[in-house]
């Protein structure tokens, strides 16, 4: 017994010492919830050793809830089917009807709908199916290939609609929903996050195109083009437009036109029938690190000016080749696509405050933007836009003419001898009431509908004093 007594005493002493040290220095398993607000405090041996980090707290958050946003948005996303007429069988030859399908977003209770230009491009017939299965024939209000945005309208009231959000305020990593109505399968909703902003993927083509897409990983498949990209409170922050894919289906990247740009385009289309595009009057390129170092900038965030248009807005303001544009209206500009998007939100005659770098100094100047013809005037449809191609000039009907004739439409004021229109025997004084079956009430609507139609056209209408409907069929000259 005496042999084992020292061993027992040593064991007991060691155990008591261990318990004392553990209770004195380590409480790492203790979690304290305070005020029911999710604040957590962890304390333990590590906290004792690193006193500057003795308390670590965070605010917990519940999982993001998409239900409310989906309930707001899905009734206002529609299916769009467009019919295109193709072929080259001559004036009365055999043509082929093809169709395309996409989605659209109702923007107002009286039936204005935004979709992609490529969904309805060259269409002679546009049909809209609402989420509740009601079907309507849509009228083309205007289209802008440079942003891939089109505005159409159906005749209805009290429709559900989506309000615009601020696409500038969305942040990378933010949750979003992509909502479409493909192939009349009713609305489909997918979730993802903002992966990037200001993306240029070179799909629109043309020197005037504006590509500054919001990139997301929300699934967008064929048929969802023209659908809504919304934030978690159901505000429209983009119109889904494209995917990058090798298989033809979604592979992880989708792109949307920012809502702030969409809002400006549709406002122009509704008011003027065409987009009032403003230009800064420069050619620009990305700023690389080597050039940034040469001009004395600490980083390569900015846009390098490599050409200044003669008599353009930039030249008037004193901008020169080699300047680096840093910001616009107190908004930092990091890439050419961002600058193009910001400028694309303005009209000719608008003034912007431009921040740029020259030499080793930062400057600010006020620039009055111009159109492509270096004019500050807002361009309105004159009625002679079709004269060169078709030999046709138009004008709006006066209020007195509308009352007298009891018809809505557009007056043909002249037909050029030997033109395509002349060969149809159309006479000045003809009142165009529809283009390819789509009603037109202003010269802007008629010009836009004729320009956006494929090469086969049917102009229906009336002559003063004659009750019969006249139809003139022809093809645009190649």
- pLDDT on residue 12: 63
- Is the C-alpha dihedral spanning 340, 342, 343, 347 positive or negative? positive
What is the spatial order of strands in the sheet that 112-115 belongs to?
135-137, 123-129, 77-86, 96-106, 112-115, 149-153, 139-144
Q: Is 101 assigned a catalytic role?
A: no
The CATH number assigned to the domain with range 282-368 reads 2.30.42.10
* 39-43, 201-205, 323-327, 416-420, range with the lowest pLDDT: 39-43
For residue 48, pLDDT over 90 is answered with: no
Token couple for 469 = 């409907």
Check: CB of residue 390 under 8 Å from CB of residue 396. Answer: no
Write out the two tokens for 329: 């209206």
Residue 137 has pLDDT above 80, yes or no: yes
Which of residues 97 and 385 earns the better pLDDT score? Answer: 385
Domain with CATH 2.30.42.10 in the chain: 282-368, 387-475
CATH 2.40.10.120 residue window(s) in the chain = 63-273
- Of residues 225, 335, 433, 456, which has the active-site annotation? 225
d(CA 130, CA 187): 10
66-98, pLDDT tens digit by residue? 899 999 999 999 999 988 755 544 444 455 566
Q: Does the annotation count 148 as an active-site position?
A: yes
Is residue 355 within 8 Å of 331, Cβ to Cβ? no
Based on the residue annotation, tell me whether 117 is a catalytic residue of this protein.
no
Q: What is the CATH T-level fold of the domain 63-273, as seen in this structure?
A: Thrombin, subunit H (2.40.10)
Give the model's pLDDT for residue 60: 35
C-alpha–C-alpha distance, residues 143 and 342, integer Å: 20
Q: Among 47, 103, 118, 335, which one carries the catalytic annotation?
A: 118
Q: What is the pLDDT of residue 88?
A: 45
Q: Write out the two tokens for 447.
A: 């010009």
CA distance 377 to 382: 13
According to CATH, what is the number of the domain 387-475?
Answer: 2.30.42.10
Query: Which candidate in 123, 124, 143, 148 is catalytic?
Result: 148
Q: If phi over 0 gives left and psi between -120 and 50 gives alpha, with beta otherwise, what is residue 299? A: beta
Given a cut of 50, is residue 34 above it in pLDDT?
no
Query: Which pLDDT band holds residue 272 (cuts at 50, 70, 90)?
Result: confident
What's the pTM? 0.68
323 neighbors 255 (Cβ within 8 angstroms): no
């Amino acid at each position: 017994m005496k042999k084992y007594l020292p061993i027992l005493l040593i064991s007991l002493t060691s155990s008591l010492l261990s318990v004392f040290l553990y209770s004195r220095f380590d409480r790492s398993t203790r979690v304290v919830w305070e005020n029911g607000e999710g604040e957590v405090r962890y304390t333990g041996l590590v906290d004792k050793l690193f006193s500057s980090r003795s308390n670590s707290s965070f605010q917990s958050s519940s999982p993001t809830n998409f239900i409310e946003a989906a309930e707001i948005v899905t009734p206002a996303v529609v299916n769009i089917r467009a019919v295109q007429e193709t072929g080259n069988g001559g004036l009365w030859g055999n043509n082929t009807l093809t169709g395309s399908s996409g989605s659209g977003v109702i923007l107002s209770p009286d039936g204005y709908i935004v979709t992609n230009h490529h969904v309805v491009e060259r269409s002679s017939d546009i049909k809209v199916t609402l989420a509740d299965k009601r079907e309507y024939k849509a009228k083309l209000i205007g289209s802008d290939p440079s942003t891939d945005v089109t505005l159409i309208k159906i005749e209805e009231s009290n429709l559900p609609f989506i309000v615009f959000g601020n696409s500038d305020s969305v942040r990378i990593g933010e949750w979003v929903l992509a909502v479409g109505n493909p192939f009349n399968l009713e609305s489909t909703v997918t979730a993802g996050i903002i992966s990037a902003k200001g993306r240029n993927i070179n799909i629109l083509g043309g020197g005037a195109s504006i590509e500054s897409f919001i990139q997301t990983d929300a699934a967008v498949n064929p048929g969802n083009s023209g659908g809504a990209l919304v934030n978690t409170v159901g505000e429209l922050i983009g119109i889904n437009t494209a995917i990058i894919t090798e298989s033809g289906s979604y592979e992880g990247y989708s792109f949307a036109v920012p809502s702030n740009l969409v809002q400006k385009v549709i406002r122009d289309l509704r008011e003027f029938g065409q987009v009032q595009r403003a230009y800064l009057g420069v050619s620009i390129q990305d700023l690389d690190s080597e050039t940034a170092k040469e001009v004395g900038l600490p980083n390569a965030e900015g846009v390098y000016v490599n050409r200044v248009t003669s008599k353009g807005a930039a030249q008037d303001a004193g901008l020169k080749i080699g300047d680096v544009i840093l910001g616009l209206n107190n908004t930092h500009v990091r890439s050419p696509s961002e600058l193009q998007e910001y400028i694309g939100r303005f009209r000719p005659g608008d003034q912007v405050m431009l921040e740029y770098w020259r030499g080793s100094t930062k400057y600010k100047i006020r620039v009055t933007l111009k159109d492509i013809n270096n004019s500050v005037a807002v361009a309105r449809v004159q009625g002679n836009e079709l004269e060169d191609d078709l030999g046709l000039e138009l004008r709006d009907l006066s209020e007195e003419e509308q009352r007298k004739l009891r018809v809505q439409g557009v007056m043909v004021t002249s037909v050029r001898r030997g033109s395509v229109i002349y060969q149809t025997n159309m006479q000045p004084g003809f009142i165009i009431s529809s283009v390819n079956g789509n009603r037109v009430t202003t010269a802007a609507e008629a010009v836009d509908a004729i320009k956006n139609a494929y090469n086969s056209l049917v102009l229906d209408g009336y002559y003063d004093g004659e009750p019969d409907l006249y139809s003139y069929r022809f093809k645009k000259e190649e």
